[in-house]
Amino acid sequence: MSYFTELGHQFVDGEWRAGSGSWDIIDFNPYNGEKLAAITVATVKEVDAAYEAAARAQPGWAETDPRERRRVFERAVAVIEAHAVEFAEVITDELGGNRAKSEIELASAIEHLQQAMLTTVVEEVRTSPSPEPGRQNRVFRRPIGVVTVISPYNFPLATAMMSVAPALALGNAVVLKPNQNSPVSGGGLVAKVLQEAGLPPGVLNVLVTDIAEIGDALIEHPVPRVISFSGSDEVGRHVAEIAARNLKRAVLQLSNNAAFMVLDDVRGERLDYAVRAAVSSRFVFQGQVCMAANRILVDRVVAEEFTEKFVAAVRGLKIGDPRDPGTHIGPLINSLHVEAMQTIIKQAMDEGATALVHGASYGNFVEPTVLTGLPDDSPIMRQEIFGPIALLATFDGEEDGIRLANDTPYGLTAAVHTPDLERGARVARRIGAGMVHVNSTTNLQDVTVMFGGDGRSGLGRLNGRHAIDLFSTEQWVSIRSDMPDVPL
């Protein structure tokens, strides 16, 4: 039995079951079109069942000894490590990313689980001095209750674990809805790993469904108190609106338009390294990454040499079967994304752009494309491009580069390259992104450091202590034994 056959179901109250909808979500391999699974959609009936199971299971899970919760995550890590080869194949087949991308995703999922081990033993109570004699102040940290996680298709396992693991570690229950393009990698695998690790039934539930079937029931339902959503800013704004209307906490990780800056002092080996980092920042997983660098901004002083080497490196990328260890570029997730990339390329050319590399499109493939010469005020320069298209632009001096980097409504990630580390830090501080990396890629992530953006890139921060704040709440309990006068 394949993992797609085994895990292509709803997972509610510890049981794998079919949805009660009247239609199926078909899970395809984007490389060869193979049908991987047909999953009957969950309806409002399953939404209610999942939330009822979560609400029922959560109190007992919250009262579980933190050391036992920790052991669940230890076992979950062992499950992934024991099945790493098969899990990587599932991710590759379902998403079309190359093997290296799948291995990076598994490693990231493990890191989130390991961080959750530490989160299980977070301080649950602290005292605060009282200005009033005879009174004790205690502040208790407690679970928020039930958390809803809505994950994207691009890094579905890792992104789901980014919210699921800390939420569970703090004693919450979770209802997870994976993207329709990654129901197994982003849903079934999460459930399988944690079920095998000994997570009690009902603490995690997975619903494979669509807004066309359930509308806003997943967000509007009275049980969940936190909605953690990763996806486009268009959908994210809708999620935020519904959450706010129902007084729920919303955690939003949305779109991006990252700038990768190369300053005028980048020469020799450092320029070669900047080229490699720029190619990685733009083309990992075919550019279908929220942290990917849309815009490669290069100081005019070094632009000619950088452009020559960047174009050569892009032309050297191997396109083909994601299972081939030598493949760099696989297919996009589906034909709609292919059409979107074709539209962007046509619009750019109509606006006067020059194609330094003009890749062909066929099936679900869009070969890497490098465009230059777009006017600064082009809408294409200010939007997210979720595919293998790089926009190359030059700037004149540091101030001009910062201006270009900030000319976007998004603000998730950016990168700055310079041998002068203090200069790099200074420039980074002036870029309006939540995460800026000096002499690295735009795709960097560290589970011990905050993750999140500004502007239209979202609300809230994940990872580390930030996840603790998001997925728990505090309660003030004051205690006194005497009977002082009270005001009337």
Where residue 124 sits, what CATH number does that domain have?
Answer: 3.40.605.10
- Residue 100: C-alpha distances to residues 188, 243, 324 (Å): 21, 37, 10
Q: DSSP labels for 281-343? A: HHHGGGG--TTSEEEEEEEHHHHHHHHHHHHHHHHT--BS-TTSTT--B---SSHHHHHHHHH
Tokens standing for residue 315 = 């032309």
pLDDT at position 1, please? 55
Let me know if residue 67 belongs to a domain.
yes
Q: How many CB atoms lie within 10 A of CB 482?
A: 7
Same domain? For 191 and 144 the reply is yes
Q: How far apart are CA 479 and CA 476, in angstroms?
A: 10
Q: Can you tell me which residue has the tokens 């279908």?
A: 288
The number of CA neighbours under 13 Å toward the Cβ of 69 is 26
Q: Give me the phi and psi of 101, to 5 degrees please.
A: -65, -45
- Would you state the structure tokens that stand for residue 400, as one six-digit string? 């001009």
Cα of 15 vs its chain's centroid, Å:
27
Tens digits of pLDDT across the chain (488 residues): 599 999 999 999 999 999 999 999 999 999 999 999 999 999 999 999 999 999 999 999 999 999 999 999 999 999 999 999 999 999 999 999 999 999 999 999 999 999 999 999 887 778 888 888 888 999 999 999 999 999 999 999 999 999 999 999 999 999 999 999 999 999 999 999 999 999 999 999 999 999 999 999 999 999 999 999 999 999 999 999 999 999 999 999 999 999 999 999 999 999 999 999 999 999 999 999 999 999 999 999 999 999 999 999 999 999 999 999 999 999 999 999 999 999 999 999 999 999 999 999 999 999 999 999 999 899 999 999 999 999 999 999 999 999 999 999 999 999 999 999 999 999 999 999 999 999 999 999 999 999 999 999 999 999 999 999 999 999 999 998 888 888 88
Do 339 and 236 have their domain in common? no
Q: Find the radius of gyration of the CA atoms of the chain.
A: 24
Q: Using DSSP bridges, classify how beta strands 369-372 and 389-395 pair: parallel, antiparallel or unpaired.
A: parallel
The per-residue pLDDT for 257 is 96
For the CA atoms of 429, 434, 436, 442, the dihedral, rounded to the nearest 10 degrees, stands at: -160
What is the pLDDT at residue 118? 94
- Is residue 243, in this structure, part of any structural domain at all? yes
Domain match, 52 and 145 both: yes
Asked whether residue 277 is assigned to any structural domain, the reply reads: yes
CATH code, domain carrying 425: 3.40.309.10
The domain tally of the chain equals 2
Q: Does 235 share its domain with 101?
A: yes
In a domain, 304, yes or no: yes
Per this entry, what is the length of the chain?
488
Same-domain status, 378 and 466: no
246 and 266 share a domain? Answer: no
Helix, strand, or coil here: 80?
helix
Specify whether 265 is located in the same domain as 216: no
Tokens read off for 177: 């809805």
Instruction: Return the biggest CA–CA distance within the chain.
Output: 82
User: Is residue 240 located within the same domain as residue 271?
Assistant: no
pLDDT at site 177: 98
CA distances, 464 to each of 111, 194, 204, 467, 469 (Å):
11, 20, 21, 6, 9
Query: Residue 452: inside a domain, yes or no?
Result: no
Task: Check whether residue 327 and residue 209 sit in a common domain.
Answer: no
Asked whether residue 487 is domain-assigned, the answer is: no
Count CA within 13 A, CB hemisphere, residue 315.
Answer: 10
* Whether residue 273 sits in one domain with residue 233: no
Is residue 185, in this structure, part of any structural domain at all? yes
What is the extent of the structural domain holding 50? 3-254+457-475
Report the alpha-carbon distance of residue 195 to residue 187 in Å, rounded. 12
Residue 19 · residue 43 · CB < 8 Å: yes
Q: Please report how many Cα atoms fall inside a 13 Å half-sphere around the Cα of residue 270, on the Cβ side.
A: 15
**Which residues touch 468 (CB under 8 Å, ≥6 apart)?**
119, 122, 141, 166, 170
Say yes or no: 151 and 234 in one domain. yes
User: Does residue 325 sit within a domain?
Assistant: yes
217 and 300 within one domain: no
Give the phi and the psi of residue 99 in degrees, each rounded to 5: -65, -35
- For tokens 């890191």, the residue is 111
Alpha helices in 316-474 (DSSP H): 335-350, 398-405, 421-429, 464-470
